[in-house]
Amino acid sequence: MNRQLQTIFPRFLAVACILLVVAMPLRSQAQELRFNSGGGPLTLTVQSATAGSEPVDALDNSSEIFWDANFGVPAKMTVSTIAPGQNFDLYLLLSVPSQGAGGQGVVQPEVQLIDGMLDTDLLTGIPSTLPGRQGFGTLEYRASATVSDGNSTELGDDSHIVTFTLLAQ
């Protein structure tokens, strides 16, 4: 299942994200990783700063992700990115609503998406049985830039290929 998410920052910060969803089976069981809402073209714009101040971060939390970690063992979700020529900062935070005593794993802190980064944990300890192995959350992207970073008119837009992976832990 692939879904694309493209983010463009035309002023201080220009970042394009393409989400490539990858489910990696351990056995012949079916795993699922999909987007329930959001995705597709996504625009985050960090506006120019007023004299003497820094630009305000741009946020987008319109993408909801769903998973079924049907591996028969505890699982995790990771994220990585490729962003050749990256000049600006992009962050990702997974927010998961509370789902009762069984839990849905341990949500990790906000991840900075850096060109060439290795798979970084977003959610660990996803239970191996129902209902805990299934869950959903909101993906919040945060674009950040400082005056000293320059601007996309001079440096061009950043383009990210962001990969989510669901795998046995």
DSSP-assigned beta bridge partners for residue 143: 58, 90
Q: Count CB-CB contacts under 10 A for residue 52.
A: 6
What tokens were used for 164? 């989510």
**Do 54 and 147 contact (CB within 8 A), yes or no?**
yes
Cα-Cα-Cα-Cα torsion 143, 147, 153, 154, nearest 10 degrees, comes to: -120
Pairing of strands 5-6, 40-41: parallel
Identify the pLDDT of residue 89.
94
Identify the pLDDT of residue 95.
94
Give the structural domain span for 33: 5-168
Segment 144-160, tens digit of pLDDT = 988 888 888 888 888 88
Segment 28-87, tens digit of pLDDT = 457 888 887 666 657 777 887 888 889 899 899 999 999 999 999 999 999 999 999 999
Q: How many domains does the chain have?
A: 1
Please name the residues in contact with 48: beta carbons below 8 A apart, sequence gap of 6 or more. 11, 12, 55, 151
Residues 76 and 95: their CA atoms lie apart, in Å, by 15
